[in-house]
């Protein structure tokens, strides 16, 4: 938003330096359309009373003709009110330069890698993964629109004990199905899906594994299970509308020598040492609470070793920023991963770890009991099938990532006003319907941007203001990496539209008015469409 730039310039002319000009929409109408407390921030460094600074800034901006008033109020707020002509100009911009207007460039082509979901290929995705998926995908959409070069990656934990257990579990069920009774591994995966995989295995490979011990065939069975699980995970994500650019296998980090090269480099830099027959990383020198084992006494690698290698590999691929979206239960790993990047000489800001909180699944207000170990859990697929992807995503994105979320299936599936998705989608469908009607009446030419100056009803002015604030909201969401701001904005915009719709007719008898109003609707429609597409939610022409 160039108001910020103008303020920046004005402040510079005062001889002050300011890193960021805060702009906010005042809660109270009397405080104008837009406001900045920047003079108060400057008061400290300039050692001058904030009100006099504010007045000076206000004077600087008066030459710029877009405000109907600039007032200095309270301890030193500068409050702006837009001229209607300016709002009309903005509206015209949305209609003629839609993309440039709605997608302000902030990224400068900076390369960002976003790693998310990354669920172990040992079971189906559950609802918590769905939240991570919805969030990650929305964040990607957001950053892409801001001009970042984004890569979406799924990290596959296909090495180590968990997939070993998957293999053992499948093998056990395989024998059980063919011979009855077979000892099941203690921490094995007990879900029904393991039986399903075992049955497929029987169908595909017959009884060939019966006369061989697990150790002999484990490679094959693990591979079979992992591939099978990954296929399912990918399908579930696709059904949810989430796709990835890359699937990075943990195992290939070893087979391609990435972990080795990385450890070599760390060794050269004296960041590793041997103790008690194990190899340690000096994490404690870089902010972690203690050093961490990389290679165990028995010569095998820890999970942390692959993680180091993975992040090292990401850096080598030349990204400017790495975003890791993790379940909140992983927060304990943050210091050690940060330690790795610090040890490799990377600035702190390069790695951005976003925690997505757990989802509490409810049904009719009562919690649904789940246990991954016992294999009792509600899968993402089940929820998508029962509730639908749009609703599910939208609900996930009505909260910021780092807050607990109650997801009530019963409430979510209701087609009622308890469900905010419909509210926004309905606004879109209503506008679409108006355009259909306009066409029916042979008034297609009405869609040509008409004399927008006719837009002078209170509701129209409010709508234009809201539309003109989209870029400000967008920039905030991008900067904070918070897609949920888009969700809230859309609800507010939809609300203004519904009010407008109920009070005024768009297709009035006066063709000039109708034309102007259709133009306004067209802009609203575009913004709704844009916002919904960031969230990954469809914009229906009809409901």
Q: Which of residues 427-446 bind RNA (CB under 7 A)?
A: 429-430, 432-434, 436-437
**Among the listed residues 6, 52, 144, 499, the single contact to RNA using CB under 7 A:** 499
Q: How far is the CB of 114 from RNA (least distance, A)?
A: 19
Q: Nearer to RNA by C-beta: 202 or 362?
A: 362
DSSP assignment of 340-395 equals HHHHTT--GGGEEEEEE--EEEEETTEEPP-BTTTTB--BHHHHHHHH-HHHHHHH
Cα–Cα distances (Å) from 269 to 263, 272, 523, 535, in that order, read: 10, 8, 57, 44
Tokens linked to 262: 């990385």
Q: Which residues, numbered 122-161, are part of the site for RNA (CB under 7 A)?
A: 157, 159-161
**128 or 536, CB closer to RNA?**
128
Residue 276: partners with Cβ closer than 8 Å, 6 or more residues away: 297
CA distances from 496 to 398, 473, 524 (A): 18, 16, 10
For residue 73, state whether it binds RNA (rule: CB under 7 A). Answer: yes
Q: Name which of 85 and 418 has its Cβ closer to RNA.
A: 418
Q: Which is nearer to RNA, 202 or 278 (CB)?
A: 278
What is the dihedral sign for C-alpha 539, 540, 541, 543? negative
What Rg, from alpha-carbon coordinates, does the chain have? 28
How many CB atoms sit inside 10 A of residue 84's CB?
16
Stretch that binds RNA, among 72-80, 94-102, 105-113, 200-208 (CB under 7 A): 72-80
Q: Does 24 bind RNA (CB under 7 A)?
A: yes
> Is 293 a residue that touches RNA (CB under 7 A)?
yes
Find where tokens 């006003």 sit.
417
Considering only residues 323 through 382, tell me which ones interact with RNA, judged by CB under 7 A: 328-333, 357-358
> Is the CB of 175 or the CB of 228 nearer to RNA?
228
Q: Which of residues 28-47 bind RNA (CB under 7 A)?
A: 28, 30-32, 35, 37, 40-41, 43-44
CB of 427 to RNA, least distance (A): 8
> Could you tell me which stretch among 123-131, 175-183, 298-306, 372-380 binds RNA (CB under 7 A)?
298-306
How far apart CA 323 and CA 320 sit, in angstroms, is: 10
By CB atoms closer than 10 A (0-12, 13-18, 19+), residue 48 is middle
Residue 31 vs 342, nearer CB to RNA: 31
Q: Which is nearer to RNA, 183 or 542 (CB)?
A: 542
- Of 52, 147, 498, 529, the residue at the interface with RNA (CB under 7 A) is 498
Nearest-angstrom CA–CA distance, 345 and 322: 15
Closest CA to 195 of 139, 292, 123: 123
**3-state percent helix, strand, coil for the chain, nearest multiple of 5:** 55, 15, 30
Exactly one of 370, 400, 413, 538 binds RNA (CB under 7 A); that residue is: 400
Residues 404-423, interacting with RNA (CB under 7 A): 404-406, 415-418, 420, 422-423
Check residue 303 for interaction with RNA (CB under 7 A): yes
Contact call for residue 476 and RNA (CB under 7 A): yes
CB of 106 to RNA, least distance (A): 11
25 binds RNA (CB under 7 A): yes
Q: Under a CB-based contact definition with an 8 Å cutoff, are residues 479 and 473 in contact?
A: no
Q: Is 506 in the site for RNA (CB under 7 A)?
A: yes
CA distance 402 to 155: 21
Range in contact with RNA (rule: CB under 7 A) among 97-105, 398-406, 444-452, 522-530 = 398-406
3-state secondary structure of 84: helix
Nearest distance from C-beta of residue 211 to RNA, angstroms: 29
Q: Can you give 434-487 as a three-state secondary structure string? A: HHHHHHHCCCHHHHCCCCHHHCCCHHHHHHHHHHHCHHHHHHHHHHHCCCHHHH
Residue 202 beta carbon to RNA: minimum distance, rounded to whole angstroms: 27
> Per CB under 7 A, which of residues 241..280 are in contact with RNA?
275-278
Q: Minimum CB separation from RNA for residue 152, in Å?
A: 22
């Amino acid at each position: 938003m160039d108001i910020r730039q103008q303020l920046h310039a004005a402040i510079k002319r005062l001889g002050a330096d300011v890193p960021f000009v805060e702009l906010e929409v005042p809660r109270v109408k009397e405080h104008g359309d837009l406001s900045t407390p920047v003079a108060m921030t400057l008061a400290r460094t300039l050692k001058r009373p904030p009100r006099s600074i504010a007045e000076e800034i206000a004077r600087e901006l008066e030459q710029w003709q877009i405000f109907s008033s600039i007032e200095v109020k309270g301890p030193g707020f500068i409050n702006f009110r837009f001229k209607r002509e300016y709002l009309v100009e903005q509206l015209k911009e949305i209609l003629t330069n839609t993309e440039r207007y709605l997608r302000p460039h902030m990224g400068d082509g900076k390369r960002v890698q976003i790693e998310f979901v990354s669920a172990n290929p040992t079971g189906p995705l559950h609802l918590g993964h769905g939240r991570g998926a919805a969030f990650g995908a929305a964040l990607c959409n957001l950053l892409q629109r801001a001009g970042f070069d984004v890569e979406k990656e799924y990290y596959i934990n296909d090495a180590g004990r968990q997939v070993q257990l998957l293999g053992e579990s499948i093998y056990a069920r395989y024998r059980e199905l063919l011979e009855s009774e077979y000892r099941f591994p203690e921490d094995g995966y007990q879900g029904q899906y393991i039986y399903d995989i075992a049955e497929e295995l029987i169908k595909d490979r017959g009884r060939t594994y019966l006369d061989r011990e697990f150790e002999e065939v484990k490679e094959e069975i693990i591979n079979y299970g992992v591939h099978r699980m990954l296929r399912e995970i990918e399908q579930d994500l696709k059904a949810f509308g989430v796709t990835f650019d890359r699937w990075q296998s943990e195992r290939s980090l070893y087979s391609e020598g990435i972990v080795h090269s990385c450890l070599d480099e760390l060794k050269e830099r004296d960041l590793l040492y041997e103790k008690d027959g194990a190899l340690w990383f000096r994490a404690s020198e870089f902010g972690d609470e203690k050093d961490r084992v990389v290679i165990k006494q028995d010569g095998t690698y820890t999970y942390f070793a692959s993680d180091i290698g993975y992040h090292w590999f990401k850096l080598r691929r030349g990204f400017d920023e790495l975003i890791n979206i993790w379940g909140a239960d992983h927060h304990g790993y943050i210091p050690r991963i940060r330690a790795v990047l610090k040890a490799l000489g990377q600035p702190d800001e390069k790695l951005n770890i976003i925690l997505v909180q757990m989802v509490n699944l409810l049904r009719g207000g009562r919690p649904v009991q789940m246990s991954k170990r016992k294999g009792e859990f509600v899968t993402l697929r089940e929820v998508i099938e029962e509730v639908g992807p749009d609703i599910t995503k939208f609900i996930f994105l009505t909260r910021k990532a780092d807050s607990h979320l109650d997801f009530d299936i019963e409430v979510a599936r209701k087609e009622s006003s308890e469900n905010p998705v419909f509210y926004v989608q309905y606004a879109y469908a209503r506008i679409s319907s108006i355009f259909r009607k306009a066409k029916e009446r042979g008034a297609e030419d009405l869609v040509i941007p008409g004399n927008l100056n006719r837009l002078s009803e209170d509701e129209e002015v409010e709508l234009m203001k809201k539309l003109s604030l989209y870029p400000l909201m967008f920039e905030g969401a991008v900067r904070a990496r918070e897609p949920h701001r888009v969700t809230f904005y859309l609800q507010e915009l939809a609300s203004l539209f519904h009010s407008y719709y109920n009070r005024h007719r768009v297709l009035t008898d006066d063709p000039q008015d109708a034309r102007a109003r259709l133009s306004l609707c067209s802009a609203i429609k575009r913004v709704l469409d844009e916002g919904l597409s960031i969230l990954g939610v469809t914009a229906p022409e009809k409901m």
